[in-house]
Chains A and B, each alone.
Chain A
């Protein structure tokens, strides 16, 4: 079983749409959870941390379900600039992160 698994997409959505990405992880001892965004041929950038209580940052909402080992990211009112690959990331062990392969989002006019 892959350590962090994501649907590779691409997800094609029109501007203004709501889109959700899911991710599952295999290590039940994982301690920290993140979503990173990676633009084409660029470095990943931290989008947001994910907490058990759920957290929201503007149009972005992240949820964590530890029992099901499942993480989600919801993007509301999609913008063209949201087009990117979204990486699900899990922290376990000494400050080390395990990255999913990413889900590609394409927002069209």
Chain B
């Protein structure tokens, strides 16, 4: 069966510091991968999605970037965090052209 991992689970970082969040999927090949952010009191916002290694589509321009160095690995990064980057970051996967997405446990980021 497929599983999705995210780490770290929680993170407190000062403004201006870098960020690296990692997501890995097991039990499937060629997944579509997604990064979402859920800010307090707001809905899920799609940040990036990837349909293959090295292929990244950005939905929202901001100081975040994403990379997919391996088929089942998706990384979210920032060079300098802003206060507004605080939120719950969720990685998700889907297969083929299906719309059903399955989420990892998330990383709760607080920028201070």
Seen from chain A, the residues whose Cβ lies within 8 Å of a Cβ on chain B are 4, 31-32, 34, 41-46, 49, 87, 91, 94-102
Contacts and interface: CB of A to CB of B under 8 A. Distances in A.
Nearest to B46: A96
Given A95-B49, A95-B94, A96-B49, A46 B100 contact: yes
Given A95-B49, A96-B49, A44 B97 contact: no
8 contacts: A34-B100, A41-B108, A42-B105, A42-B106, A49-B100, A96-B49, A96-B59, A98-B46
Interface bracket on B? 20 to 34
Contacts, number: 50
B32 interface: yes
Give me the 10 closest cross-chain CB pairs, A-B, nearest first.
Answer: A91-B99, A32-B99, A43-B103, A101-B43, A99-B44, A99-B43, A43-B106, A95-B32, A44-B103, A43-B105
